Amino acid sequence: MSAATIAATAAVTATATIAATAATTATTANAATAVTPRATFAYLLRLGDLSLVLAQRLGEWVGHSPALEEDLGVANIALDLIGQARMLLSYAGEVEGRGHGEDEIAFLREHGEYLNATLAEQPNGDFGQTIVRQVLIDAFQLELYERLAASADERLANIAAKTVKETRYHLRYSAGWLVRLGDGTAESHARVQSALERLWPLTAELFAADTVDRAMTDLRVAPPLEQVRSAWSARIDAILAEATLERPRDQSYAWFGKRGQHSEHLGYLLAEMQYMQRTYPGARW
């Protein structure tokens, strides 16, 4: 199947799922979520999948990091992210109202039903590229979850309050590395600068508000994305300045992972991530 076919299929599947969800969702305790359950469901998947997919990528470093200490550092962040994904996807399953638990949501959806931003699924590349991806997402999650902690959705606000503490450490770790590599040798500087150029265009998607984002903002469940963007931008500028890296020019928004249309990389990641659950459904240990 070509990339275009996959993307097209993905778009259809995602739309169909959302429509089906809307039809079956009954009542929820929270007034805000009851108004637009399918938007809330999609929004929770976006948050949860971002953490889940990024965790899967970070897990690939285990046993391959530049040092034993980094193996543990990166795995530790991945575990935090999986914890976040569990809370968010469990909640998404409840909002969806079809009796799907966290494992079914995490491991048994199809390609086009994952709503993570395209940036998260990008390959690790060298350690520098992993760090660039991490800084961009950590800073986004930090600014987002700091505001989500004041969400009108109480459950989400509680998840956010826990997540903020973890994310603050993730950014401390990743930004520390970016400064070390950017302000390191000519070789390390060139590598992280080129990773930054490569990944930067994918950041536009994080802040491109669509109907789901706007519905959440209107319900005061989520902050306006422009607000998150300007805070993120200032934070990233400060880190890049310290790392002696140049901020790439912004480009127009061309990726739609958060609507289920992914790059070619996600399929391979899912094949590995879903293998166990699909081979041994409901396995326990």
Partner 1 sequence: MENKHQWPLYEVFIRARGGLDHKHVGSLHATDARMAIEHARDLYTRRQEGVSIWVVRSVDIVASDPGESAALFEPARDKIYRHPTFYEIPDEVKTL
Positions that interact with partner 1 (CB under 8 A): 67-69, 72-73, 76, 169, 172-173, 176, 180
**Which CB atom, from 76 or from 277, has the smaller least distance to partner 1?**
76
The nearest distance, CB 245 to partner 1, in angstroms, is 18
The nearest distance, CB 181 to partner 1, in angstroms, is 10
**Which CB atom, from 139 or from 175, has the smaller least distance to partner 1?**
175
State how far the Cα of 85 lies from the Cα of 90, in Å rounded to an integer: 8
Which residues 6+ apart lie within 8 Å of 108 measured at CB? 274, 277, 278
**Which CB atom, from 74 or from 212, has the smaller least distance to partner 1?**
74
**Which CB atom, from 29 or from 69, has the smaller least distance to partner 1?**
69
The nearest distance, CB 169 to partner 1, in angstroms, is 8
The nearest distance, CB 73 to partner 1, in angstroms, is 5
The nearest distance, CB 171 to partner 1, in angstroms, is 12
**Which CB atom, from 62 or from 271, has the smaller least distance to partner 1?**
62
List 261's β-bridge partners, or say none.
256
